[in-house]
Chain A
Amino acid sequence: MTALALDIDTVLDGLDRMASQRPVAARIVATSNSDRTSAVGLANALGADVALAAKVMKLANSAYFGLSGKVTSLQFAVTVVGFNSVRSIATIALANLDDERLLPQGFGELSLHLAAAAGSLGPRFGTRTADGMALGLLAPLGMALLHQTDRHGYDQLVAATELGSQRFAAESIRYGICSPQLSGEALNQWHFPADMVDALRAVASGPEGALLRTSYELTARLVEPHHKKRALERLSDQRITETEASARLTAIRTDVRELRSALGL
């Protein structure tokens, strides 16, 4: 596959333009990035966008957080799902990741599985569940951006590669950057926490990317029937072993069901 000169600045400019069309979502992302933000402040910002507020309420009341039907206030919902989840939901809206027409096939499922996998595995890697979930949810953002930039070429690339390192390598060859790293650049532009950006940038190697690498591998096992397995021990820096893969996959499947309903992806 031939290389394509991808101008990241142009791609990110496009993202900024999209964000300007959703000012409330942009304010929520900005608010949740501030160290001084309280649950009250974030809930107030969220309250200005009924659709986003409803999504957060739905997520907080989902079985995923164990409080089905018990969360009645937006402020409580924010504390239940965590600031990162709120920011991720707002980001999905900002980047039009909830518009299937603009997304590569299977994007929603991939996003859900990565969110469930990273949320479930997070504590093993020193990452909070909700933070892991937010990371997984937004990791495919770069994939959407590549798809918007090079629709036909990217679809071909996806069809020809397995999810995971093989695809990342192909993306790097064609675009000079792989999709999670592009996600990292986008989130960096929106001032997401540095460790989240670092985790995306280090998806190919490095300890910061171990959670995401492992999540991509388990997701691939669930969504791609003929996926060629890669050893979990190596991907996860020995934090996850193959012997527990089965239990992990079961837990992720359960979480996917709960999140699918809650997030409406």
Chain B
Amino acid sequence: MTASSAAPAGEDERAQAPGHPPDVVAAVFHATSGEPHVALLVAARGADGDPVIRWSNPGACELLGLAASDLDGAPLSEIVLPPDGVRIDHLFRRERPTTSAVNVRTAVGEEVSCRMRTAPSPDGDLWTLQIQPAQSDLELVLRASAEAHEQRFKVLAERSPVPTMMSEQGMRLGHVNDALCALVGVTADRLLGTGWLNHIHRDDLERVTETAIAVLAGQEREMEARFVDTQQRVRHTDVRFTPLHTPGIGDGFVATLEDITERRAFEAQLSYQANHDSLTGLPRRNKLWDHIATVMEDPDAGLACMFLDLDNFKVVNDSLGHKAGDALLVEVARRLSGSVRPGDLVARFGGDEFVIACGTRSVEAALEVADRVLRVLSEPFVLDGVEVHPRGSIGVVLRRPDHQSPDDLIRDCDIAMYQAKSRGKGRVMVLDESARGAVYDTLTLVSDLRQAIEERRITLCYQPIMRFDEDGRRLASVEALARWQHPDRGAIAADVFVRLAEEHGLVRDLGLVVLDQACAAMARWQDELGPLAPPRMNVNLSALQMSDYQLVQAVKGTLRRHGLDPHHLCLEITESALMNDPDTASTILAQLRDHGVQVAIDDFGTGYSSLAYLRRLPVNYLKVDQSFVAELQDGHTAVARAVISLARNLGIDVVAEGVETHAQMEILDILGCPLRQGYGISTPLDDAGFVDWCRTGHPLATVGSR
């Protein structure tokens, strides 16, 4: 019997497992003993207690390089080398199999790393040893390939410029690469485990943990997180987490980081520039709005708002130049910032206006701040060698429940500031409720006016201008007078709504509506009245319209639209408005007159017209202010006489306004002023009334002798 086919002595009996017939046991033995790829040995304890080989199969002979006859009886300790410190007899248990990592010494002295399974026979006297190389050739190849893959990945990860970290389980990192170490400025040892959490900005730690939990549950996530390096510098990163599941081990993640610190810094710079005034460095309006809105989110938070307007800033700007004006604003900003309390916000509202938001519920505390601001503000400051004492007016308002938005609060402190200004500048004013009511009232009226203009509910009435001479009286022109019938408040005086229009940017639209309606009426009258129609329509212009270069085009367009000759239109401008900017006014009026439109100076004598200008202005009429006409019958004729004389010398016609009595008429006859307008001739008439008045031969009103 050869070693490859023979069983150890007495094996047949001992190998029989209870309940297994001998022929079955023999079949199993035959199949396994002849298997060349399985090394099998059977050992028994020798006389000294050490295991001795009793049998070997071809697989064992091939592995060990020894013949079965050489193996038979050999001490196992010469062939099998257990780990250091482990005695070989410990691998042989009576009642249970063991598996061990051992080295097997071959015939040529080579030590092969193997795993050895030792199974006792039922009676415990013999052990079957199944020895397998720790790794088969295929396993060696696969392992080498896996190690090569791992090495490539390791090199890739470690050399990658992308900071990378890997957790094999939970939040504990098992690997970090050089780029991450460089980002945080520490060695890998400080980041492994949970060390990396010490370098996350404390305000971000919760979010990072929440994100990691979601990733550990299998989701991919991306987030922004701040890391803090060893020098306490904050690094902004974009972190991309990917789950990493290891079967049988647990869940971890791989995270790559993108350092976006510079991008964030650039964005922060842009944001700063967007939110801060470039000249003073103070927050702008939008930042102020955000700040107030944030405070207002808490209904119980105290807030006082102060609106500061520099007094006479325009004087500095105009006299010392814009550069000096800018320097003053910078200095004011510095002083304001130094006068407020920690947590208060100073913002540049625009121009020479600043707003201070104070976190307080106490008006006394707010006034204390305001007084300190005024005191510090007024300290002298040298600008281009000139000592200036900046002054300002401050309006203060405390937040109240009816302040629903930052707009409400700032509007009220703006009102308070105007109250302070109106009471003499250089003072602090807490919002006065009655004044606030008046302002609200005005704002409502402005809103109604805007709507009335849009809906063309501004109406006109007409007052004739008559020429009186030796041939009798003739209708020379008619002045269109704007009227506004408010649905709730009744008639609003023209000087009131015109002033509101001027103050709130509505005057251009108002002027165009009036011009359009007047030209429309004129065109209609020409059709309806024929020769009885007035030869001309006078329309008033606001002072503000005299700086509107589009006025000329608008006038031309309106005339064209209504088919009127330009000479049918006369535009009236007050003397004071004319002198606001005489050069521009002169240019515009010249263009109008070149087009054929007549021009009259209204309320003449009340302003301070330069005679030199007057001579150059393209004017057709002067209208003597009614105050001079009114005093004629009291013997005060000097001004009217001088105006009439001046006009005559300049070749300009004169219209006397406000003519009410026969006495005035007679004096005007004597002074040689044939063109007259006033209640003594006709009150202003509505459209139908004017048409009737024309058709009935221009009857004079019943006037008194005085």
Contacts and interface: CB of A to CB of B under 8 A. Distances in A.
Interface stretch (A19-27, A102-110, A181-189, A219-227): A181-189
Given A84-B249, A130-B250, A194-B101, A176 B189 contact: no
A255 interface: yes
A9 B85 contact: no
B193 interface: yes
Contacts of B195: 251
B494 to A, nearest CB: 75
A8 B85 contact: no
A84 B168 CA distance: 13
Contacts of B90: 8, 176-177, 185
A9 B99 contact: no
Interface string A169-204: 000100011100100010011000010011001111
A37 B197 contact: no
11 contacts: A64-B172, A66-B197, A70-B210, A81-B250, A84-B249, A123-B192, A128-B168, A128-B169, A129-B174, A181-B83, A188-B98
How many of chain A's residues touch chain B, expressed as a range? 35 or more
Interface string B214-248: 00110000000000000000000000000000011
A185 B248 contact: no
A8 to B, nearest CB: 6
Given A123-B192, A128-B169, A67 B209 contact: yes
A183 B353 CA distance: 82
Given A70-B209, A189-B96, A255-B193, A83 B87 contact: no
A226 B605 CA distance: 114
B451 interface: no
Contact of B172 (A13, A71, A129, A194): A129
How many of chain B's residues touch chain A, expressed as a range? 35 or more
Interface in A68-102: 70-71, 76, 78-84
A120 interface: yes
Given A65-B172, A79-B169, A81-B250, A70 B213 contact: yes
Contacts of A194: 99, 101, 115
Interface in A196-252: 197-198, 201-206, 208, 244, 247-248, 251
B460 interface: no
A66 B96 contact: no
A123 B175 contact: yes
Interface of A is mostly: helix
Given A37-B248, A63-B194, A205-B84, A8 B217 contact: no
A120 B90 CA distance: 32
A154 interface: no
A66 B171 contact: yes
A118 interface: no
B170 interface: yes
A53 interface: no
A81 B251 CA distance: 9
A88 to B, nearest CB: 13
A261 to B, nearest CB: 14
Interface of B: 83-87, 90, 93-96, 98-101, 115, 168-172, 174-175, 189, 192-195, 197, 209-210, 212-213, 216-217, 247-251
Contact of A208 (B101, B172, B192): B101
A178 B170 CA distance: 34
Given A81-B250, A123-B192, A188-B98, A176 B83 contact: no
Interface of A: 8-9, 12-13, 35, 37, 39, 60, 63-67, 70-71, 76, 78-84, 119-120, 123, 128-131, 168, 172, 176-178, 181, 185, 188-189, 194, 197-198, 201-206, 208, 244, 247-248, 251, 255
Given A70-B210, A79-B170, 14 more contacts: A9-B94, A12-B93, A64-B172, A67-B213, A76-B213, A79-B250, A82-B170, A129-B192, A130-B169, A130-B249, A197-B99, A197-B101, A208-B101, A255-B193
A198 B101 contact: yes
Nearest to B192: A123
A66 B250 CA distance: 15
Given A81-B170, A188-B99, A204 B250 contact: no
Contact of B83 (A66, A84, A201, A247): A201
Contacts of B216: 76, 79-80
Contact of A204 (B85, B115, B192): B85
A64 B94 contact: no
A15 to B, nearest CB: 11
A76 B219 CA distance: 13
B86 A66 contact: no
Nearest to B100: A201
A123 B171 CA distance: 15
Contacts of A202: 83-84, 101
B178 to A, nearest CB: 15
A200 to B, nearest CB: 9
Contacts of B212: 67
Given A65-B194, A129-B169, A130-B168, A79 B98 contact: no
B86 A201 contact: yes
A185 B97 CA distance: 11
A67 B84 CA distance: 41
A67 B174 contact: no
Q: Which 3 A-B pairs have the closest CB atoms?
A: A66-B171, A80-B170, A204-B85
